[in-house]
Amino acid sequence: MMPTTDEPVALAAQFESARPRLQAVAYRMLGSVTEAEDAVQESWLRLSRSDATAIEDLRPWLTTVVARVCLDQLRSRQARREESFGPSVPEPLVAPEGETDPEHEALLADSVGLALMVVLEAMPPAERLAFVLHDMFAVPFDEIAPIVDRTPDAARQLASRGRRRVRGSVPRADPDPTRRREVVDAFVAAAREGDFEALVALLDPDVVFRIDRGDLPGPPSRELQGAQKVVENAVTFGRPFFPFMRRALVNGTPGVVIAPGGKPTSVAGFVVREGRIVEIDLLADPRRLRHVDIGALEE
């Protein structure tokens, strides 16, 4: 049994010790920093209304609660997403290079690059939950099953489908972060100069460029594939924003933040493999970038 106490302060302390894990679960489930915080807060409210002395183990109980909250949110999103068009890029975690803060370190534990988050965004809600809880947080299937209203074997199949999606869609990045940053910097420099040949040389022939503008007016969200199309887009539409680019870590990997007037309007994450860029994921919806603090980013 969990230690019995009538002290709200003691219960709050136990909850705070579990908060980093809960926040990490919720971010992977929802792809939103702000929504993850709301889900964790809801789990605290449910705990405060419960008989804590009847909870045998607080941490798995809280994980189950926050997972249920996230699942409800994902299901309510699903109908809206079916009516939308174009790729979905989640809210990124942005930090100065070499200075990832403890909160971001907790969220990024076990590696959760933006490319992986994009694949998670495309999963059906129950599949996403089963994969995230089991493969990322080692939650047993007999604990996952009641959350998704399945048998343990069916929950295992959900996680297996999610695993296959990840293996088939998330490119493996070069292990050297310095080399990855050099390639991204070279791409930005070539784009600023309009150096078409240099840009093509830095891109994999089958590079994928996702642009998520949310429901903002103007050009729609879209996905481009192939070096030629990506270069044409970068040179034609990106040049006005190059003076406002700042280097940053985006979900733990080299990326850039565009912040004219000091306000982030878009964030791009890059996947570099064998010295070439194979994927670019760009969120260009300022409303979903309000959590980004650019004060310490290098211009």
Identify the CA nearest to 171 among candidates 95, 255, 280, 30.
Answer: 280
| Residue 196: partners with Cβ closer than 8 Å, 6 or more residues away | 231, 235
How many other C-beta atoms can be found within 10 angstroms of the C-beta atom of residue 231? 25
Per-residue pLDDT tens digits for 59-84: 999 999 999 999 999 998 876 655 55
Equal CATH topology for 1-83 and 177-288: no
pLDDT in tens, 233-265: 877 767 777 788 889 999 988 899 999 988 999
Cα–Cα separations (whole angstroms), residue 98 to 23, 94, 264:
22, 12, 20
Report domain extents, the chain: 1-83, 123-170, 177-288
The correct answer on CATH 3.10.450.50 for the domain covering 177-288 is yes
Spatial contact of 165 and 139, defined as CB atoms under 8 Å apart: no
pLDDT at 44 over 90: yes
Nearest to 44 by CA among 71, 69, 7: 69
Global pTM? 0.86
Strand ranges (DSSP E) for 30-74? none
Q: Looking at this protein, which amino acid is placed at residue 251?
A: N
Across the range 182-195, mean pLDDT stands at 89
Pick the CATH number of 1-83 from 1.10.1740.10, 3.10.300.10, 3.30.160.270, 3.30.470.10: 1.10.1740.10
